[in-house]
Amino acid sequence: MSVAIVTGGASGIGRAIATSLVARGDTAVVADIDAAGARAVADRLNGLRRGTAVAAPLDVTDAAAVAALYGAVRDEHGRLDLVFNNAGIAIGGLAEELALDHWNRAIDVNLRGVVHGVHAAYPIMLEQGRGHIVNTASLAGLVPMPAGIPYTATKHAVVGLSLGLRAEAAGRGVRVSAVCPSFVDTPLLRNINPDLPETPLSGDAADDIARAAPRPYTTGRLARDIMRGVARNQALIVAPAYGRAAWRGARLSPAAAVRVAQFAVGRIRAGR
């Protein structure tokens, strides 16, 4: 049985990961800024009577709070096997529509939140000589993804952070992976720019996204892909299949990938 922390565990991908962990008998700390949501998820998962779920309120932008939680989990259980730095937000809007607040919020949550998780977990795992850090990025961290460039920029940064740390950690017993899903059916798609200046993609953006994207993948299927990728120690866990195809295409022809992104922007603008 493993001891794991899942940030952003109250909904979406994080909830699906926590469910997979508890279903196989692990202990999962469901951490989220939505404390009530985290408690509800933990209560439901404990009803499975397999593993154990524990709720923890956590704002990943608070480095001290992240370090305190990760350290407390290690102290209580004597180890910390898995960390899923998963918490994130969506930012929607074309570049000229975005305020600095959009950029700063994306950097604070999507990038600094992961940095805080890595900074807290990595020394623990080095000390114990083992562990696996799994950072949630996005297909937007591998291919050109317009209409939300702050999100895209931070996810590229998470991919780079993860691959660089993986190289450093390889000889120390610590594994590092980045999860790069394409469009997944999560609240992220319907909660664009929370508490930020509105753009044409604010609020319920599901219709705009649907015009430019394939059918979203379910979180349950993605969680299975993630757990399989973790077991195989994959550097990049890219899902579903059309996401992997887009990634391969972008590597073969970056110019063609940009043209595809231009087409998506055109469909979004035409729908306004």
At residue 218, what is the residue type? T
DSSP classification of residue 108: I
Cis, peptide link before residue 146, omega less than 30° from 0: no
Number of continuous H segments (helices) and E segments (strands) in the chain? 10, 7
Bridge-based pairing state of the strands 82-85 and 3-7: parallel
Specify the 3-state DSSP secondary structure of 212: helix
Does residue 242 have an active-site annotation?
A: no
Q: 215: buried, middle or exposed (CB in 10 Å: 19+, 13-18, 0-12)?
A: exposed
Q: Which one of 122, 151, 217, 242 is the catalytic residue?
A: 151
CA dist 41 to 123, 140, 165, Å? 29, 28, 31
Catalytic residue IDs? 151
